[in-house]
Amino acid sequence: MDKRQFKDKVYTILASLVKAMANPHRLEIIDLLSQGERSVQDIATETGMSIANTSQHLQMLKQSSLVDTSRKGNFIYYRLKSENVYKAWRDLRAIGRENLPEVDKIIQDFSTRKSNLAPITLPELMTRIQHRNVVLLDVRPEQEFDAGHIDNAINIPIDQLATRLGELNKSKQYIAYCRGVFCVFADDAVQLLTARGYKVLRLDEGYADWKIGYAAKAV
């Protein structure tokens, strides 16, 4: 094998990974699986796709070794093959926000409709949570919280928040977070809590970003 053949083979194989990710539904699936393993049925429900379409996208991700599977009873569960898969998605997301103005504009326009307060970043969060008066509020579904969460966070899923306000203290400063930059749960939480007189901010990133950037350093 000469040098040209070597390069053609390597780049072709690597390009197949990019091709597997080059679909909006598959990117959303990768983002979702960063929160923990899910069944085909769960993924279909979360993404608004049929089970058949979801299975097709998952098979392509599996063929490219981006996801792995395990069986529990009658159900097949999918998970990211490694943490590096999420890192690749996170880097792509960052490139998009830095170089494609329309991406950040969509995010800002949506968030502004929910709250006129700018979200805080993970470094800002790590400074703020040292104060006793700050409470980190995880508004993801309970199964995702149980699979992993930011240290010292409390969990009230967004669909339960309106009925569990009695568990919150208006003298506290709350910071709501969910799955990440494109997750709307935290925006909904900020809108609801602000309207009820609570002090609340949204974390720009999510659990998976904290896990990669800070959890390992804390061990």
**Which superfamily, per CATH, for 101-218?**
Rhodanese-like domain (3.40.250.10)
What is the pLDDT averaged over residues 97-120? 78
Which has more pLDDT, 113 or 108?
108
Rounded Cα distance, 76 and 69, in Å: 7
Q: Tell me how far apart the alpha carbons of residues 65 and 47 are, in angstroms, rounded to a whole number.
A: 21
178 is catalytic: yes
The amino acid occupying position 35 is Q
Residue pLDDT, tens place only, 145-202: 999 999 999 999 999 999 999 999 999 999 999 999 889 999 999 999 999 999 999 9
User: Any idea which fold 3-85 has?
Assistant: Arc Repressor Mutant, subunit A (1.10.10)
Task: Say yes or no to pLDDT of 119 above 90.
Answer: no
For the chain, give every domain's residue range.
Answer: 3-85, 101-218
From the candidates 29, 33, 44, 178, give the one annotated as an active-site residue: 178
